[in-house]
Structure 1
Amino acid sequence: MSGLLEGLHFARPLWLWGLLALPVLVGCCWARRRNASVWRSAIDAHLLPHLIERRVDRGGWLGLLGWLLAALCAVIALAGPGWRQVPASLQGVTSTPLVVALELSTATNAGDLPPSRLLQARAKLAALFTARGAGETALLVFADDAFTVAPLTEDVANLTLYLDALSPDIMPADGQRADRAIEHATRLLRQRGATQGAILLLASEADGAAIAEAATAARMGYRVSALGLGTPEGAAHRDSTGGLAHTRLDAASLEALAAAGGGRYARLTADETDLRTLDVQATRADTTRGDAVPGAGENGALRWADQGYWFVLPLLVLVLLAFRRGGALAALACVALLPMLPALAQNTGPEGTPWRRPDQVAHARMAEGTEAYRAGRYADAAQHWATLPGAEAAYNRGNALAKQGDLDAAIDAYDAALRLRPGMADAEANRAAVEAARRRTPPPGPGRDPRAPPRGQPQDGGRPSPGDGAPS
């Protein structure tokens, strides 16, 4: 018995105070029965036992017992008893948002990081987005000014869709204004309402204005780190006018920027040493819903499942027995009509089961689609999300179709999401990226993967401006 009680947990234990109302219910029923006889007010108390036949009212006490059991079941169900552990929901996990700012000046075409700084930076960002996993992440680029490529989104894997379109040719003016990039990043975090956040700057140098802006961001609660592009020796490149210029990595200025921003500095490397030094791969997550328990294992924290619904079944039976003559038949008719109520209403979502509501079925399918997407089974993910209503499901389906290379269907899915939720920033940004990829991709020929990047395509052909992804 003690082991059973130790394994019993209540999600809402304050409802157990309702048990104190049970003695009050018994007292009220006893007082009512005592005053039920009208003869007590007309006959003397010492004559009453000899004039009234005493009999045991079994039905009354059985009825009281039934009401007590019904109240007990209701209080226990409301308290949320649990004796089984289940994985904690992913919706209860929050993480520190990250804004990545990539320099796109002409200096990124320098070859001191073969084949170029830009290509090395693209590969590093792809590795970062893959390793980061969950957690809100945004991408912006800067030269003489800063522009948003993708707003803060939890769909980190789809940020890789934008990397192929990033080059100095899409920037309106050349420059290395890291201060404007940091200011733009703090604006994105403020729009999100984040009180804490991280900013990662990929650049080759930082001036005094950038260092001052990093210090301002740190005072606002946003940590600024820097990833250095280039080598101390540097290399030649052509500037925006076509002339030759020489650029080199100014590690000292970037270290000063990271120190002022309360972050870290690392030089871009071929392995993951730089990302581990910057501590931007793993998200800092805190469980905010459910009671975590020891022994969670590799799949995350566990929580006690709410099993209170098991007490609803006996409660319904007891309430049914409390009906007067003929009431039981009416109650059975009402219970028989309950499954027909969802059919009378317009319902475009999944149907419920005898053990799960339609919203629980929809949540399970959404989770199955997310698991398939993260495992790389994009066709299964799209199939799971195709049966779900709402803008989120249409947006997720578009992402899965884009991963499969079905760009036309992906655009249709994004359009469906925008019809359901006009102004959805993630859907607008991903649609623009997929539309740009579709314009760049030629018809597939023999032996050619339709999802592969085009060969012989100019760098600026059909690529969207970074500011087209979302409002800045």
Structure 2
Amino acid sequence: MSGFWQSLHFLRPEWLWALLLAPAVMAWLQLRQRRRDPWRHLVDPHLLPHLLEGGTRRARVSGWLPALGIVLAVLALAGPSWRQESQPAWQSKSPLVVVLDLSSRILATDLPPSRLLQARSKLATLLAEREGGEVALVVFADDAYTVTPLTSDAANVALFLDELGPEIMPVDGQRPERGIELAASLLRQAGATRGDILLLGDRAGTEAQAVAAHARSLGYRVSALGLGTAQGAAVRERDGSVGQARLDARSLQALAGSGGGRYVQLGAGTADLQALDLLRPALVGSQQGEGEASKRWRDEGFWLLPPLMLLSLLAFRRRAGLAMVALACLLPLSLPVQAAEGGWWQRDDQRQHRQLSEGVSAYRRGDFATAQRQFEGIDTAEGWYNLGNALARQGRYDDAIDAYDRALEHQPGMDDAVANRAAVDAARKRQQQSSQGQPPQPGSGKGKGAGNDPARQQPSPQGQTGGDPQAGKPGQQSPPSPPQAEDATAQQQADQAQREQMEQAMQQSRASTPSQAQANETAEQRERRQATEAWIRRVPDEPGSLLKAKFRIEHERRSREGR
């Protein structure tokens, strides 16, 4: 018992000042009761207790009960605590977005054999040596484009390194500020409050320095890794002219200073990456080791709520307390179905949000039938959009298109719904052509970005997104995103399609020995399988070609929109 009193304390002790209200309220109620009693003005005070039956006792009780209620409420608000509980440690690591210059200056040979090959090698080392944390890759010339969005799989980023070059960029130029803007947009879209942006290039102007300062204000550190030498080397521009590409270390130092980061010139080994402090990303949140858990004091103020609620029954009229207790006992029996489905106290939008969360979890596990059941009945744009995704993954293209149409009725111009509807419609047409004996045409029916057959393009459910706690709530629309954020959203779907295509191509190349199912198939099934394999082999599987096509489509879209 002595241990209990030694550990007892209050988590919010400032609320204890409110205890001073208890005697004041008690005195005010007693004074009010005396003024309302008419006999006190007609009978002498020494005779009044003998004439009024129980009047003084009831007045005294009526003053003590509110004061007791105030004491219980204040103690509950003060947060009494006498024991601790474990709390899991937060081990999220700071993400990194690499911004690479792919202008024609990257082909300069002052870093033999060329700046481009040195940059590829340095990025491969960074991806191999970095100890966790999400990584994204952005390239820029006259404009910036996303090669891979933020991902914890570094091998997925390394897949595209050998395909990077100035030839995949739609327009030549050198605008590093566009790359930094897109990198900050990717971090903000992922809900990261802290992160690193690494610029690989040979110079940065005042506009890039201003953008780096803005990224720093958002919590993102901007560092620079210099490519080239002060002497430079001749380089041929895309228009055929010859120029001199030199490393402007002073401008990159100013960029790192504005972005709160560091500047290092590219060198051999990992010394430059260690100087930039990028190989061991900082923990966001808890600084404890992996597997450890923190201790926190548990708020036990809820134990004072039952006596406070029972005491509040005395504030009702005579015999009303019994009626309130009976109503509280019968209320759960009147709503058994709603209570079984998540609680009768929840609002409709809260139940819809719970359904969206469970549906998204099932979708990400690959259980599309369960996801469909969860999304059904949610009459919002997000609900219909997610239902369309689940139906498309099951091959029910007609039903998926109807669901996308319903989503567009609720939110006209919903970009994701428009893009996925176009991709599903194209897949339905190819399926109809295949059933009629016509060979499907690869690359037909592309939707937004590089939207392909939904059997390869996995739509992203909208029930939960990144770290934004407001994303995907039923009946609530997110605020308009800035242009670069919309660009990143548009490119994420194309990135997913690229990964799906590459995985299918690699799986196809590894399938050299016939499986047991192939050995038992009929001649008709074999013919159909061989036709399908021949069609799949027509799909281009070079990442460089895919990137070039994606960037060109994105450049044309931005040109039409006047960006």
Q: TM range, normalised to the smaller chain?
A: 0.5 to 0.7
Q: What is the SS of the residue equivalent to 2:100?
A: strand
Q: Structure 2 regions of 5+ residues with no counterpart?
A: 394-452, 465-470, 513-538
Q: Does 1:465 align with 2:551?
A: yes
Matching residue's letter, 2:23: P
Match of 1:335 among 315, 323, 328: 328
Q: What is the SS of the residue equivalent to 2:550?
A: coil
Seen in structure 2, the aligned counterparts of structure 1 residues 12 and 284 have a Cα distance that, compared at 3 Å, is farther
Map 1:36-185 → 2, pairs under 5 A: 37-48=37-48, 52=51, 61=60, 64-83=63-82, 84-87=84-87, 99-105=97-103, 112=113, 116-117=117-118, 119-124=120-125, 126-127=127-128, 131-133=132-134, 139-143=137-141, 145-149=142-146, 156-157=151-152, 164-165=159-160, 167-168=164-165, 169-175=167-173, 177=174, 180-182=175-177, 184-185=179-180
Q: What is the SS of the residue equivalent to 1:413?
A: coil
Give how far 1:413 is off: 3.4
Seen in structure 2, the aligned counterparts of structure 1 residues 141 and 53 have a Cα distance that, compared at 3 Å, is closer
Matching residue's letter, 2:18: G
Q: Structure 1 regions of 5+ residues with no counterpart?
A: 371-377
Matching residue's letter, 1:328: G
2:342 match: 351
Q: Does 1:30 align with 2:30?
A: yes
Matching residue's letter, 2:132: A
2:494 match: 432
Seen in structure 2, the aligned counterparts of structure 1 residues 440 and 229 have a Cα distance that, compared at 3 Å, is same
Seen in structure 2, the aligned counterparts of structure 1 residues 97 and 6 have a Cα distance that, compared at 3 Å, is farther
Instruction: Give the distance between the partners of 2:225 and 2:461, measured in 1 at CA.
Output: 34
Q: What is the SS of the residue equivalent to 2:74?
A: helix
Q: Contact 2:501–2:541 at 8 Å: present in 1 too?
A: no
Instruction: Give the distance between the partners of 1:158 and 1:334, measured in 2 at CA.
Output: 56
Instruction: Give the distance between the partners of 1:258 and 1:340, measured in 2 at CA.
Output: 70
Seen in structure 2, the aligned counterparts of structure 1 residues 90 and 337 have a Cα distance that, compared at 3 Å, is farther
For 1:91-149, what per-residue CA distance to the aligned partner results, in whole angstroms no more than 9, with x for missing partners? Answer: 9x9x988653112246657884899446435534645886335xxx7643113x13141
Seen in structure 2, the aligned counterparts of structure 1 residues 85 and 268 have a Cα distance that, compared at 3 Å, is farther
Q: What is the SS of the residue equivalent to 1:411?
A: coil
For 1:129-187, what per-residue CA distance to the aligned partner results, in whole angstroms no more than 9, with x for missing partners? Answer: 86335xxx7643113x1314189x8x543787566456223201345x2xx11355258
Seen in structure 2, the aligned counterparts of structure 1 residues 28 and 409 have a Cα distance that, compared at 3 Å, is farther
Q: What is the SS of the residue equivalent to 1:275?
A: helix
How many residues of Structure 1 are paired with residues of Structure 2 in the alignment? 423
Matching residue's letter, 1:265: V
Give how far 1:26 is off: 1.7
Q: What is the SS of the residue equivalent to 1:173?
A: coil
2:518 match: none
Give how far 1:27 is off: 1.0
Seen in structure 2, the aligned counterparts of structure 1 residues 246 and 38 have a Cα distance that, compared at 3 Å, is closer
Instruction: Give the distance between the partners of 1:456 and 1:124, measured in 2 at CA.
Output: 25
Seen in structure 2, the aligned counterparts of structure 1 residues 366 and 87 have a Cα distance that, compared at 3 Å, is farther
2:17 match: 17
1:316 match: 309
Instruction: Give the distance between the partners of 2:496 and 2:185, measured in 1 at CA.
Output: 28
What TM-score comes out, normalization by structure 2 length? 0.54
Instruction: Give the distance between the partners of 1:270 and 1:338, measured in 2 at CA.
Output: 71
What TM-score comes out, normalization by structure 1 length? 0.62
Percent identity between matched residues is 27
Matching residue's letter, 1:433: D
1:265 match: 264
Give how far 1:312 is off: 1.9
Structure having the larger proportion of residues in helix: 2
Map 1:342-381 → 2, pairs under 5 A: 351=342, 379=365
Instruction: Give the distance between the partners of 2:457 and 2:9, measured in 1 at CA.
Output: 45
Give how far 1:316 is off: 1.9
Q: Contact 1:228–1:265 at 8 Å: present in 2 too?
A: yes
RMSD: 6.1
Q: Contact 1:106–1:239 at 8 Å: present in 2 too?
A: yes
For 1:52-110, what per-residue CA distance to the aligned partner results, in whole angstroms no more than 9, with x for missing partners? Answer: 2665866665565443333222222333444435538969x9x9886531122466578
Instruction: Give the distance between the partners of 1:322 and 1:306, measured in 2 at CA.
Output: 28
Map 1:151-300 → 2, pairs under 5 A: 156-157=151-152, 164-165=159-160, 167-168=164-165, 169-175=167-173, 177=174, 180-182=175-177, 184-186=179-181, 189=184, 199-203=197-201, 205-206=202-203, 210=204, 212-213=206-207, 215-216=209-210, 222=216, 224-228=222-226, 253-254=248-249, 257-258=252-253, 261-262=256-257, 263-267=262-266, 271=270, 273-281=271-279, 299=292
Instruction: Give the distance between the partners of 1:280 and 1:171, measured in 2 at CA.
Output: 27
Instruction: Give the distance between the partners of 2:117 and 2:184, measured in 1 at CA.
Output: 31
